[in-house]
Structure 1
Amino acid sequence: MTAGRFITLDGPGGVGKSTTVAALAGLLRDQGEHVHTTTEPSTSPLGQFTRGHADQISGHALACLVAADRYDHINTEIRPRLDAGDTVVCDRYLASTLVVQRLDGVPERFLLDLNADIVLPDVAVLLTAAPGTITDRLTGRGAHHRFERDPSIPAREVELYRHAAAVLERMGVPVVSVNTDTATPREAAARILASLGPAPASVGDDTSPDKHTVTS
């Protein structure tokens, strides 16, 4: 059995997360990996409820909904795929919580406590761009949620993602930052791939703790 690896992509709205996830998955498949792409909020009933009510529910209540969906997502989709040896690439994960929910007035400590038992990624990719670039892209694409309708948000998001990167690194999660100001999704994906290194080796009778389990 080959150990699966867990890669997450986060960043402000308009940096190209979904298209980069698709491009990265294609490159990983080209080198022989079995890849499963997913997203948060998830496609489960709980995830769809969370996504559909994010404009009506806010603050601590929304943070709890997002976390509940994440734990369900881990139990029903992410961990089974990792256990099967797949590479899992997720569009939004913990870094987004540390940014979006903080924009919604939720303290970082509450968010970290709420997510204390999640599966940590093997690599957290943070896509970024200049606030002006993000604003232009959102204007052309249209807002997907209430935060993207506030013109002051992009600059705050970029700064909060920098802070989230530092938080993740303190948790022992390798962070890869990629600027998408001028990079196409495929170019961004190629940069990510170059930073990942080889796929995990086969697992034998290793009795060490599960690498995806948060330990104190």
Structure 2
Amino acid sequence: MTPERTGWFVTVDGPGGVGKSTTVAALQRHLADAGVPAQLTAEPSTSDLGKFTRENANHVHGLALACLVAANRYEHIDTEINRALREGDLLICDRYVASTLVLQQLDGVPLDFLLDINRHAVMPDLAVILTASPGLIAERLAGRGVTHRFHLDPSTPSREVDLYGDAAALLANWGVRVLALDSSQATPSEVASRIADEIPPLPLPSVSSAITPTPQEP
């Protein structure tokens, strides 16, 4: 059962190399300068289960990895996300459900299975989907070196961009507020400022956090 929420939950997702973590850090600084405290979190989480998931994501594949990611998400919700929302905090998460819908599909997992195992996940108040041109993403990945098996395939940047578009449409269909931003020509600070404009003053009046996704094709 989800708690009454007076906080706000922002998730930031997008293809590898699009600048998610840099943008999340810039967003926290931007908010702090405006006198708005924000907590940062990420998935996989920092728990033992989250660390195991992160350390083995290149070795565990397909359905098994999808279940592992979902298990860590529900633990994350129980131990951190629900508490922050209940206590009126602003919580910003680097990767969440949208990344699952993309990365696990790249790993061969059917969309309907992913929707089923994430059916009870707490939905964000604002889902930010960062994107950039596939060519720029490929250039950035080449510059930093491949860190995940998904990026061994040169077609991955283009497929990721398309799948994140599908994920954004699904989230919007579930009633989630989606902010899609192209970071190709914008600095992380500029992107952070745009996200901050969408965040209301906190705490909010207590409202229910329950949004139950309905499995369907994008």
TM-score when scaled to structure 1? 0.92
Counterpart for residue 165 of structure 2: 162
1:38-62 CA distance string (max 9 Å, x none): 1101111101101111111111100
Q: Do 1:123 and 1:175's aligned partners in 2 also have CA atoms closer than 8 Å?
A: yes
Counterpart for residue 176 of structure 2: 173
- Correspondence for 2:210 among 202, 209, 213: 213
Structure 1 residue 133 corresponds to structure 2 residue 136? yes
Unaligned 5+ segments in structure 2 are 214-218
- The separation in 2 between residues aligned to 1:139 and 1:211, in whole angstroms, is 44
Give SS of 1:151's match: coil
Counterpart for residue 144 of structure 1: 147
Give SS of 1:57's match: coil
- Correspondence for 1:113 among 111, 116, 128: 116
Letter of the structure 2 residue corresponding to residue 214 of structure 1: I
Q: Do 2:88 and 2:204's aligned partners in 1 also have CA atoms closer than 8 Å?
A: no
Percent identity, aligned pairs only, is: 56
- The separation in 1 between residues aligned to 2:177 and 2:139, in whole angstroms, is 30
- The separation in 1 between residues aligned to 2:31 and 2:142, in whole angstroms, is 32
Unaligned 5+ segments in structure 1 are none
TM-score when scaled to structure 2? 0.91
Structure 1 residue 188 corresponds to structure 2 residue 178? no
- The separation in 1 between residues aligned to 2:128 and 2:204, in whole angstroms, is 24
Count of aligned pairs between the two proteins? 210
Calculate the aligned-residue CA RMSD, in Å.
Answer: 1.7
Give SS of 1:6's match: strand
- Correspondence for 1:88 among 86, 91, 98: 91
C-alpha displacement at 1:31, in angstroms?
2.7
Structure 1 residue 46 corresponds to structure 2 residue 49? yes
Letter of the structure 1 residue corresponding to residue 40 of structure 2: T
1:154-193 CA distance string (max 9 Å, x none): 0000000000011001110011011111211111111212
Distance 1:212 1:202, change over 3 A: closer
Counterpart for residue 201 of structure 2: 199
1:51-78 CA distance string (max 9 Å, x none): 1111111111000000000000111111
- The separation in 1 between residues aligned to 2:209 and 2:118, in whole angstroms, is 14
Q: Do 2:89 and 2:203's aligned partners in 1 also have CA atoms closer than 8 Å?
A: no
- The separation in 2 between residues aligned to 1:169 and 1:202, in whole angstroms, is 21
